[in-house]
Amino acid sequence: MDSKAFAYQSAEILARHNALDVLVMDIHDTAGWADYFVIATSTSAAHMRGLERHLEEFFANAEISLLNKPEVTDDQSWLLLDGGNVIIHIMTNEARAFYDLESLWFNAPRFSVTFNGKKES
């Protein structure tokens, strides 16, 4: 699976399972170490664990290996899943506002993803 398909399928899974403000950012022209960021907001630690579980099922079915094996704790505000060319960030609303990755990577093309598909922002 190419990195674009990996990013968008991951984003659609997050959106399908009620992650908020799901965004795919194309960073391949800006960063030399990855092609895409997928950023999503979870509503609680339990929601974050559920989102991770759904993504892990997708990874297993698609035979995708992550470079890290994170564990979600009850006080965690940011879960990073490193898929090599695709980095998935699941954050609480507070962490997402504080770290503001969208502003840090302001020149990267970005696409909002909803359960019904994607739309350019």
Structure tokens at 29: 């022209």
Cβ pair 38, 12 in contact under 8 A: no
> How many domains, the chain?
1
Is 20 within a domain? Answer: yes
Q: Which domain holds residue 104?
A: 3-115
Is the separation of the CB atoms in 52 and 72 below 8 Å?
A: yes
| Per-residue confidence (pLDDT) for residue 119, from 0 to 100 | 53
Q: Give the residue among 67, 46, 64 at the shortest CA–CA distance from 55.
A: 64
- The CATH number of the domain holding residue 63 is 3.30.460.10
**Is position 121 within any domain?**
no
What single-letter DSSP state applies at residue 76?
-
Per-residue pLDDT of the chain (121 residues; tens, 9 = 90+): 899 999 999 999 999 999 999 999 999 998 889 999 999 999 999 999 999 999 999 999 988 888 887 888 888 999 999 999 999 999 999 999 999 999 999 999 999 998 875 554 4
Compute the distance between CA of residue 108 and CA of residue 20 in angstroms, rounded to an integer: 20
Whether residue 120 lies inside any domain: the answer is no
